[in-house]
Chains A and B, each alone.
Chain A
Amino acid sequence: MNVFQYIVQNHGEVFEATGWHLGMVVASTLFAVLIGIPLGILISRRPGWNKAVLGTANVIQTIPSLALFAFLLPVPWIGARSGRLAILALTLYALLPLIRNTYAGMKGVDPAIVEAGRGMGMTDRQLLFSVELPLALGFIIAGVRVAAVISVGLATIAAALGAGGLGEYIFRGIGMYDNQLILVGAIPAAALALLVDATLGWVERRLRAI
């Protein structure tokens, strides 16, 4: 059967898998944003910490994804559900681009501007929220974009653990030597990646224009 015929005939099921796939990406990117941005800000404030934090995030990035999924299996509560496992692993992978871009963005803010604000009596909190973060935002969104696009690809591997998503079709296709079935997973995944990239790219351009 041809890819498109298959998708049309099973559109409910493909649609659901795509939705779940996107759900895993959105959830993990969100978690990574909540952890990565504060970490990036922290290491821009404490120069001593930046090597340790970036180094750790780098090491996580180098672990092959299947191995990372396997490492996390024995973790209590997380290992009990493959969905949780997949989201945690994707979150860990998304951390590096977020920490690094937040750090770079914060470091890229002109120190003369920050000092001008400080000299006029702005508090650290006011400087962070109304000067440094807004000026670093373009960089940070670029990090979110990279993280989200990587996640779309990596999330296909989550199917190996039974976490579902579009990878389901790919693994089934590989098992059945059915290239068409592989494409049923791969084409929507590629489309999703392009969509996520374009959406966040638009947001990024809007923010940089400020």
Chain B
Amino acid sequence: MSTGTQNGTVIEMRNVAYRFPGGPSLLNDLNLQVRRGETLMLLGRSGSGKTTTLKLINDLLSPTEGDVIVDGRATRDWDRIRLRRGIGYCIQEAGLFPHFTVERNIGLVPTIENWELDRIRKRVAELLQLVGLDPSLASRSPKELSGGQRQRVGVARALAADPPILLMDEPFGALDAITRAELQKEFLALQQRLQKTVVFVTHDLREALFLGTRIALMEGGRLVAALSPSEFMKSQDPLVQEYLEAFEMPTPEKRASA
């Protein structure tokens, strides 16, 4: 998974709908493009369909209608395992394997990709440094780490096989405010260096504005708008304004009257 299409679109949703078999519709007529190297924030409240959208990209869910295209090929035409190993995946509470050491957790994808042991060990050491963790933590068990450290390990694990795409599902959601701010800053710096194509789920507008190059606002299984942070701040869309007010950010009217 090294080359994308000519126009730099790495992930594309075309008229995508998703519903549980026999259940309610979770996603309707979604059209969205993610460009190479951008950080697209999927912003919305619980049940808005943002996590569903994320899971469509690595085929943990398959669209009931439409196409999800990754690197020029519909996910249904991909070998599912190959697709997933080329996409880093990082979730809330990190989803670390409790019976694996930090080293084995980080080295998971390289291990199932049959890298040589030496190469895995080197890569793990490199990644620990990259996410700001002490190398001595490699032999620890996840339960011996703090929440922030675990989340760093989660990020390192997602980056292990150097995938061009990174999916992050509220990775910093369970952290205390200070640790979260710290990790957000580091993630931003990391992303500026690595230039991955990132799709990042959050319900926190501040996080979306801080980390995103674009914000896709979702509500009730639909995409409301996909805007850059500065466009978002200026938008007249009522739902966007609702968000700005909820987070006590200046809405365009207030700024005009001030």
Contacts and interface: CB of A to CB of B under 8 A. Distances in A.
Interface of A: 112-113, 115-123, 126, 131, 134-135, 210
Contacts, number: 52
A119 B97 contact: no
Interface string B165-180: 0010000000000000
Contact of A121 (B81, B91, B97): B81
A122 B87 CA distance: 12
A119 B112 contact: no
B97 A120 contact: no
Nearest to B55: A119
Contacts of B158: 120
Contacts of A115: 60, 91, 95
Counting chain B residues whose Cβ lies within 8 A of the other chain, the interface size class is 20 to 34
A120 B60 contact: no
Given A113-B98, A135-B98, A210-B99, A118 B91 contact: no
Interface string B82-95: 11110101010101
Interface in B187-230: none
Given A112-B91, A123-B81, A118 B60 contact: yes
Contact of A119 (B82, B84, B93, B96): B84
Contacts of A112: 91, 93, 95
Contact of B89 (A120, A123, A131, A134): A120
A116 B112 contact: no
A116 B92 CA distance: 10
Interface in B61-111: 81-85, 87, 89, 91, 93, 95-99, 108-109
A126 B99 CA distance: 14
23 contacts: A113-B98, A115-B60, A116-B89, A116-B95, A117-B95, A117-B97, A117-B108, A118-B60, A119-B87, A119-B89, A119-B91, A120-B84, A120-B108, A120-B112, A120-B157, A121-B81, A121-B83, A121-B109, A123-B81, A123-B112, A131-B97, A134-B99, A210-B99
Contacts of A117: 95, 97, 108
B58 interface: yes
A121 B84 contact: yes
Contacts of A116: 89, 91, 95-96
A122 B112 contact: yes
A131 B97 CA distance: 7
Nearest to A116: B95
B82 A121 contact: yes
Nearest to B90: A116
A116 B167 CA distance: 11
Given A112-B91, A112-B93, A126-B112, A119 B99 contact: no
B109 A120 contact: yes
Nearest to B85: A121
Contacts of A126: 112
The 5 lowest CB-CB distance pairs between A and B, nearest first, are A116-B95, A121-B84, A121-B85, A119-B89, A210-B99
Nearest to A114: B95
Contacts of A122: 108, 112
